[in-house]
Amino acid sequence: MQAGTCHRRRGGRYREPVSHDSPAPEPIPLTLSVPPRPERGLIEELVRPVGVVHPEIEILDLTASDAAVAEFLVRVAHSDSGFVARTDSGERAVGIVAATVAALMGEDIPSALANPAIPFLTGLQPAAVAALREVLLAIETADCDAVTDALAVLNRGAATA
């Protein structure tokens, strides 16, 4: 084919030339949707080794006092970006899950941090779990096995649901 010329294909879909003055065919309604994102469990893929975190995501060191953790959660719970918690303590990891839920609900954060309500946490509805996971992005630790084992108490309700 030479540059500047048009080539008309014959064969294929239209065997004869198609008039551009013909009326448009009736539209065919289509339903388009995006498949829903698979639901993540309360602790599924929550624990990971300590690593580099995006600069816009805050890091909460759980060796901080309960008051400092509560102050942090009040501020970050309704922000646009979530946070990553860092701890090697399984007890503190369970506490930060409970405290983050408390912050989202406007409840007593220090009490939730010190005394997590396990039956309440295991009974969270999927929308509440999704809200939690949008805020608490990960728990980073040097001891993934110990922290994961401690968080397993939060998985028990999911197995019976």
pTM of the model: 0.74
83-138: per-residue pLDDT in tens? 999 999 999 999 999 999 999 999 999 999 999 999 999 999 999 999 999 999 99
The per-residue pLDDT of the chain, averaged, comes to 85
Give the C-alpha separation, 78 to 160, whole Å. 31
> Is 137 in a helix, a strand, or coil?
strand
Tell me the average pLDDT across 29-39.
67
H/E stretch holding 134 reads helix 126-135
Per the CB < 8 A criterion, the answer to whether 50 and 142 are in contact is yes
